[in-house]
Structure 1
Amino acid sequence: MESKIAEGKSILLVEDEAIVALAEKKVLEAEGYRVQIVSSGEAAVEYIQEETVPVDLVLMDIDLGPGMDGTEAAQRILGIRTVPILFLTSHTEREFVAKAEGISSYGYVVKHTGDLVLIASVKMAFRLAEANHRIAKELEERIRAQEAQRMSEARLQRAELAAKVGNWELNLDTGTITGSEGATKIYGLAGTAFSYEEIKKIPLPQYRPTLDKALKELIEEGKPYELEFKIRTADTGETKDIYSVAFYEADRRTVFGVIQDVTAMKRTEQALRDAETLWRFALEGAGHGVWDWHIPSNRVYYSSQWKRMLGYGEEEIENRYEEWESRVHPEDLPKALKAVEDLLSNRVELYHCEHRLRCKDGSYRWILDRGKVMEWDSEGKPLRAVGTHTDITEQKETEERIRHLLQEKELLLRETHHRILNNLSVIRSLLSLQAAEVSAPEAVESLREAQARIDAMRVLYERLFRSKVQKIVSLRSYLEDLVRDIREIFPVEDRVKITVEGEDLSLSPRQAVPVGIIVNELVSNALKYAFPGKRRGKVAVRLRGLEGKCRIELEDDGVGFAEARKSPDGVYRLTCGTAEENSTIDESMERKGFGLGLVSVLVEQLAGTCKMESRAERGSSYLLEFTQEVLPGSGS
């Protein structure tokens, strides 16, 4: 028995004399105790705070030299947690004993009285600690039993009261309480609206702190309360026992509550039944079928309208769950059962499923099935679910007709795009054949330019033909394909690098066509004129969207326009669109030949601006800006 006391016990030995501490540790460890030594009161407090190894008893010297003495260390330790403390000291003077007596300790052992005394004192301290623990546990269990008995008696008392119930509402902004008729009768009040300060006087004074604390926690923490208290009615002074519950609606800054006795409880239950009858009547009148499922028994109430939807009379369908499940179309049943399982397992709050149900004549009708769990048991398992059936057969048939029409439209559009692509390819081939037959350089050049313009539209139509979304064009991808085709028409080998950089903007086809032709003209001009001979260089196209505008920059590092080379300052500027009013512009773009004239017309079509600046031997740059059209599904 004695060995069991020491088994697994941990002792913190607080001793400033190292040799003494080692001797005491050896004696204690021989008895099976685990001993940890610290040499000061400060170290002992820190050890308990950190408690890397649990401590079952502190063996504390009183005189620990400079710093905190043993009694102060013991007080601090007991302030951290409850642990048995046994004082061990060589002092027997009255003042030392008095210090120890003022602390909740487990004894006072004088040093050098022998190992047997030390071991016996330690064992006695452990027995006393265990006895205290048992007493505290028994006291706690007794209090808990008394509380359980009190709560049981309170519930029994509430159940036996002549039932009355009332509800109230506290507006925190106005400080006004509005009470139902039942609530005002319970409180003995006349009227329906009262100040909060007036109502506070009705509960007996001893309950006021508890009620105020519960209301404060309800508002600050959203914690509903359930309280019992007594009141003295305002009219007769009669004392009543009240059971109250309350909750808080933060968005309205309003507290709602119910005070209860037996009569009002019956009134409330009846009101709930009336309300349920009313909403069922309303749903039936709107053509919705109603179902009410008692989940543990699998009993289901099906309303008359629910049965009429499927062509059944009132007595032809029983109140069983299987009546619904057996009629669900086999293709829809897995989906429907999964939706039910999600509801019952609390993965979703609302049940929502579209499925087909078999009618009495064997046909199927589409049903929108919706529901919600309304009651749970004490373990949180669903007890009751309520929902509706809505016949959506006509809606589904309309959706199917629309789907077929959209498919037909899609086929027609793709066929149209296919024919346009074929026609553009034929025109391009004819231009290519014609260019091969003529020998005049100017004629060949004109045919190539026409071929490039045809390519600008052909590339766009190819993208639309391949895309599933034919109302939106990816500008960057479109221009990358276009630039690739331009290189084939104007071969410059590898001495001129062409890049498309920046954001991948989205345009409508109506804007993408003129943008493609503009970029085609400007890139073609750069390849034809900016890099004469074997000059090397680059052409860069940069895209950027900013606040609903599309910004396209195109620049090369070629020789520049001839006008720039002739200009005194080596700079030549062109513009078109609304930017023509700028006085720094040398000339309008529309007067610079067919290609740039075409660019000017297309910029006007985009309601945008285009500015060009060319510097002798430093290349040319263009800036095209226009407002992007709002695209389908953009949310603008």
Structure 2
Amino acid sequence: MTIIADKSILLVEDEAILALYEKNQLEQGGYKVTHVSNGENAIQLMKNNESPFDLILMDIDLGKGLDGTETATHILNHKEIPIVFLSSHTEREIVKKTESITSYGYVVKNSGFTVLDASIKMAFKLFEANELTKSKKEHLETVLHSIGDGVIATDRDGKVIRINPVAEKLTGWTHEEGVGLGINDVFNIINVKTRKKVENPVEIVLKTNSVVALANHTVLISKNGSEFQISDSGSPIKDLNGDTKGVVLVFRDITAEYNVQSQIAKQANMLDNVLDAVIGTDFTQKITYWNKAAEKIFVWKSEEVIGENILNVLKTNFQMLSNQQVIEKVNLEGSFIGEAIQQAKDGSFRNIEINLVLLNDESDLPIGYIFVARDISDRLEAINQIKESEAKLTQIIDSAMDAIISIDKSKKIVLFNGAAEKMFGYESTNIIGKPLDQLIPENFRSQHDKHIDHFGKTGVSRRAMGALGQIRGLRSNNDEFPIEASISQISVNGESLYTVILRDVSVRTLSESKIQKLLHEKENVLKEIHHRVKNNMSSLFTLLTLQAKSQENSSVQTILYEAAGRIKSMIVLYDKLYHSESVNGVTIQEYFPSICSEIVSIFPKKVDVNLDILDESIELNAKLLSSLGIILNELITNSMKHAFTEIQNPEIRLCITKIQNVLFLEYSDNGVGIPESVSIQNTPGFGLQLIGMLVDQIEGKIRIDRNHSPKFILELTI
């Protein structure tokens, strides 16, 4: 409310009497009044500011010099003050001229004090209202200039009418450059992922007449091409009637925040991919973070435990300390590493290795804890298994029949099992740490050292028993004895460790010597038996041959020759066995050529023998060869008896082939052929019956192939 007693008025009036009258009326009305008669004095008085005034009553006609409107213009350029014009003029153009200067009032002289007083009071109210509006405007301007967010205002057509300094910095457009431009020209935004243009919030506000927020991952592209991650909102500017007159767009640069959040997201993603459980809590142990590994190890889902006390969620028993002692230790020292048993959601227990760290803020004040937990149940089980394996290995080594000795790179003994104690006569406690040479006769030491050194350089990891040859050992009583050894090497922490397995072969060497002697004697006896059997059969063969030659009856003669042939096949076999290195076997390359020629030679008729035997050396046992020899004798005898009666150049053919493990013997001649009536299965002849029986005995198959050149084919699995 305006208080008149406090108001001081400067009256500018060139008419002295009129000025005195007006001054008197105003003072009676409670105003303090100062009078000057011209514009120049009024201007000087206002500049000196010796007597501050609240209002000026300005006469328009001031005589010589400046008139009232010119004076008012000068004063208003110096100071903002309400001016009410006094004039006897009522012309429209004069009134309008004053309104272009100031609009606090225009009073026609002689209108009376009531009109003048009302005009003055109205001028005071208008001035106070303008000052308040101006103050608010200045405040808003200050806010717009000092606010940390960018602000852009538009009219109802989306044209820019205001850009604050932060918006100038982010968009790259100054207020002067941007005013009048379309919002899309100044505020250019895209999606950071798709790089496609995003609909401008101003356009959305104008369409919906409501407040809108910008979508996430929005980038503002500045006039110079710089990019800023931003968040914003758009609000309609409405008049008193609720009609939208424009839009105010408020946005801020969140690039640093976005980068931090992205980094946090990456770190969270990394923590979700680690195998260890990572759990974050506040200073009261309430869970604030729970990664994927924690879910897997403890079965609890993140959403189930966030906000819960970790000691209530995971029942934890440390090995040496209580939970409270662990927390106190962390608060004092900053961290704790130890092992504990924790119970999961399903009631099962986990052996956990825990790294607990105190988390401080930027002021080094504690704000929480980080728990890094690793499930070591499998590791502890593996360690127990290793210990069990080591115990079993120790038992195996100690119970081994052979001596087991390990030496280091300096050839000093580091392991000496029970069998080694018995073999060499030393207790392990007395020999551990001693050089290996103590167990080797002096004349063998140099050679043995060279063996080990060479073995270490070759990089070979093991050698079979006996690879070191027959070496000698030295017992504690200085007795030497023969031993057989194998050696292996492993690398432990980069250093070679050699293990020698030794076997006392004293008894075996003596036994082997006796066995070799017995075998040699047996071999000689066997050869002598072969020789005597061969000689006896040769005598039988000779007698049968002589008897056959002395017979005039051809049938009897043929029977005797067949019998001689059967014996001849046995003679050939025993002869080969006698000369063979193998006591019980002969190769087909040695046997079949000999038996064919020997059997053919029994008969008077001269017949060529054509042999085609595979190159692969195949040794068959004597029993099998004996049967094959008799079968071949019968086939050759049949050819000699029946095939060549009218043939000028008789020939017998034998082809032996092999496919995988099946041996094929193909027998044929160039004689008159095999009659259709002849078969292995149905024949009255003794020879073919014998062949069939022998083929069954050796589990073979025989057939007659009459296509092209007739032949007998024998299949035998070997």
TM range (shorter): 0.3 to 0.5
Q: Which has the larger radius of gyration?
A: 2
TM-score norm. by structure 1 comes to 0.47
Greater relative contact order structure (CA < 8 Å, 6+ sep): 1
TM-score by length of 2: 0.42
